Structure 1
């Protein structure tokens, strides 16, 4: 047996840090924060331990808490005071995100990324304007005891892509005017990046970058977020505009299209079940690649740790390290603050 080749030689404590191939830093992380126009005080999110909906008046304090951990950027999600069929509060000058942006800009120096989608703002919970067929089906649902069996599988139960682009344009401009440092469209509408880039450039916001949710799968891992942001669809699902989890080549096509349209960074969502996609996108583009370590990934580790089956701190850090190793430059994660604090403590040690 040839034992002259011994990889273990580089695993001793002294040399191990010197040959470590991947490093995770608080500056790699983005912390999601939820601002709620209907709340007067912080409201815990039951399915996402450690996270809360925060009133507009308290959003700057919440962002300062994030910054104290070493995390420099936040992603802002809004819960409006009211909803309608078109999601008009998404672009209102006095909308929840717009008001929160102004407070954060005035009181902190955090880098603020705004999620741009309509599921939290529409009364039907979908990510844009319904097609006429979908609207008829939804109205039938509301006027009856329930939708007929099988109707949710109707291929017409979907969002009107091109009509939604007009709303995306309005919302992007409204967020930029309120002080967004970066805009992240997440609705998976064809042409959304080109629409936003054209709008921002035309209105003088040429320096505001776009981080597109370029590769967003129709995933079962989003459940806790829909509880947190009150954004679950009231009928049907989102398979007609979010990607099929079975598809890999399509992800590259989506990423390339958004890059061509002017995206400055590309997001893959979810992260852990799609590490192969993170790697594919990394190898396809020279743009920064982000990955969203989503609510379901967060919740399942918390649930296992709550049973005593896993060490939460260890598996959280290992999960994020795997996402970074796969090729992500940025990680949007609900573990941002806790992992950042651990990393900072290890560095001080």
Structure 2
């Protein structure tokens, strides 16, 4: 097994032949069909299999996670699947392995799950989503992760902010404004977390936006647990809410109709909603900055690191600071 400290080949060495050979090293027979899927952190492909349904092969970004952290993600999704919660878990081979290695690349194979984006303006859909996320959180609260990080002000706010500043991403004429805006926003985030205490930290999906939910006639399927980690339950909820305050209040009420059937919700976590949204803004900019040397990122995100981008970030963070001063959503 590769460890996080072992140099790994860059993605440009992940040729179509190597991808197919990796899949066939597990005893599968590829039919030559290969489709790159929308993924930036890792490399993900739909691979055709002879006389069988296609599979999804995910090749992990070198050096990002330890083997132990990846296997902990796999165990979590397999635990959820065993409890008949609709998540897409990795396939396990005859020896019980879910993480594989081929010519220096770590990868996993999972079944292909078709679906469409959920209609989050539909109350029944939100209630359905709430039931399954409630079940995920009920399992997530049983025990903590040992090898995966925690969503915190430090990891999602202060660390990416320091990286952006120390590596010179901010245009000189915007640097003072960006620094003062982020410092002010983080101060309000700290205050929000302090007001919300005590908050339980549980195992989460971690990146539960609508793009990571595939809807079919049988309901939702949750995919891409690559960012699963410890954190407050609200982290898996707020990204499903949108619109003005009245709209988000209605959406939250519909969602909680299902969620509370399976897991208790600490209403103090509503104080964290805009704080978590603020941390995601900062973290997203830091993520793009940290990956900017990957040729796929400038090609896919040409608007990043432009004057306009940083101006918009300053504006967005100022708006978030104002929102954090408002009362939290009310849940009857």
The alignment's TM-score, normalised by the length of structure 1, stands at: 0.29
The alignment's TM-score, normalised by the length of structure 2, stands at: 0.30
